[in-house]
Amino acid sequence: MTSAPTLQPRFLPSRTELGLVAVGFSGGQCKDGVDAAPMALIEAGLITQLTSELDFNVHYDGQVHSYADLRPEHDPPHRGMKNPRAVSAATQALSAQVYAHAKEGRFVLTLGGDHSIAIGSVSGVQKAVRERCGRDVALVWVDAHADINTPESSGSGNIHGMPVAFLTGLAREEDKSMFGWLEEEGKVNLRKIVYIGLRDVDRGEKKILREHGIRAFSMHDIDRHGIGKVMDMALGWIGSDTPIHLSFDVDALDPMWAPSTGTPVRGGLTLREGDFIAECVHETGNLVALDLVEVNPSLEITGAQETVRAGNSIIRCALGDTLL
């Protein structure tokens, strides 16, 4: 699908300036190794591809941020959440980093890390976009999971299953050390979220999606309509005049293509469908930020390189790489 961008130039993301934030953070879930993803993606040639093939000027501080210095010594569960203070502190710091790039008008690429980091990346982008052009971002969430559990509906207590709940205000916490720092100007409207690729959604999450009328395209929808029609519908819901933040969990892809991830679920997207989603979002001309999360190079020996390659391919497609 190609649609001419109708945003005013000042709304548009930069075609040349890109802020890269590498987040080696794994505290939103229980498996080690997802913190090694940014370095694996970079070592596979990501920055070279962004600069020499896609002509971006990359602003990168050269560090993989683990936020270990922000991790409190004592971090007992709160409302069932595991590592709540560590995840809160890390995402708060990330939010400020992402905001600093976005307010300069740069496209922001955030490499995770587990998906809890989207609390930081999305809120930072949203705040900057609102300040720059008075608009809300639309959030395209490509994932096997809806990640919209509240602390109370979550069975695991892992915060990487909750970022959308915090970002939309469905989950709230007054305590500044546990997401109370998340201000209204960083939050996302439930009507501006579109899910693609869902296939492992908890009962409580299904209820939340239904009750709030959240737009979601599951693998069932993709099987029925094909990915082309689904992208037309998904982007049609957002409209052609809205800045878009794409948060791409590599577990949206079928484990055949991306096995090295913490919570793989069979029956997912092909590699080509994943790339196609990224290409379609790029073609809108309205993409302002991208997260690529949940690559865990330590979980598989043979599948790790394949998963890293898949991640880099999605990033390139979202940033304008084309087949021809």
Please say whether the beta carbons of 235 and 1 come within 8 A: yes
Residue-level length of the chain: 324
| Residue 244: DSSP 8-state | E
232 is annotated as an active-site residue: no
- Tell me if 82 contacts Mn ion by CB under 5 A: no
Phi, psi of 179 (to 5 degrees): 75, 0
Interstrand relation of 193-198 and 17-23 (parallel, antiparallel or unpaired): unpaired
Candidates 21-29, 110-118, 126-134, 198-206 — which segment interacts with Mn ion by CB under 5 A? 110-118
Binding residue for Mn ion, selected from 19, 78, 108, 147, defined by CB under 5 A: 147
145 is annotated as an active-site residue: yes
Q: Which of 65, 78, 101, 115 is catalytic?
A: 115
Q: Which of 35, 147, 200, 221 is catalytic?
A: 147
| Residue 50: DSSP 8-state | I
75 is annotated as an active-site residue: no
Q: Which of 114, 251, 279, 291 is catalytic?
A: 251
Q: CB-based burial of residue 19 (10 Å sphere; 0-12 exposed, 13-18 middle, 19+ buried)? A: buried
The CA distance from 178 to 277, in Å, is: 33
245 is annotated as an active-site residue: no
Q: Which is nearer to Mn ion, 114 or 275 (CB)?
A: 114
Residue 239's alpha-carbon distances to 108, 246, 266, 286, in angstroms, are 21, 15, 31, 10
CB of 210 to Mn ion, least distance (A): 20
- Tell me if 249 contacts Mn ion by CB under 5 A: yes
Please say whether the beta carbons of 141 and 128 come within 8 A: no
249 is annotated as an active-site residue: yes
Please say whether the beta carbons of 50 and 32 come within 8 A: no
Candidates 48-56, 142-150, 213-221, 281-289 — which segment interacts with Mn ion by CB under 5 A? 142-150
Candidates 66-74, 120-128, 145-153, 300-308 — which segment interacts with Mn ion by CB under 5 A? 145-153
Q: Which of 206, 205, 166, 210 is nearest to 187 (CA)?
A: 166
# residues contacting Mn ion (CB under 5 A): 4
Paired tokens of 74: 């004592």
Candidates 217-225, 228-236, 248-256, 267-275 — which segment interacts with Mn ion by CB under 5 A? 248-256
Q: Which of 114, 205, 294, 300 is catalytic?
A: 294
Q: Which is nearer to Mn ion, 75 or 249 (CB)?
A: 249
Binding residue for Mn ion, selected from 65, 82, 106, 115, defined by CB under 5 A: 115
Longest C-alpha distance within the chain, in Å? 54
251 is annotated as an active-site residue: yes
Q: Which of 249, 275, 283, 300 is catalytic?
A: 249
Could you say which residues in the range 19-78 bind Mn ion, by CB under 5 A? none
Tokens 């720092």, residue located:
181
Give the active site residues.
Answer: 115, 143, 145, 147, 160, 249, 251, 294
Q: Residues in the site for Mn ion, rule: CB under 5 A?
A: 115, 143, 147, 249
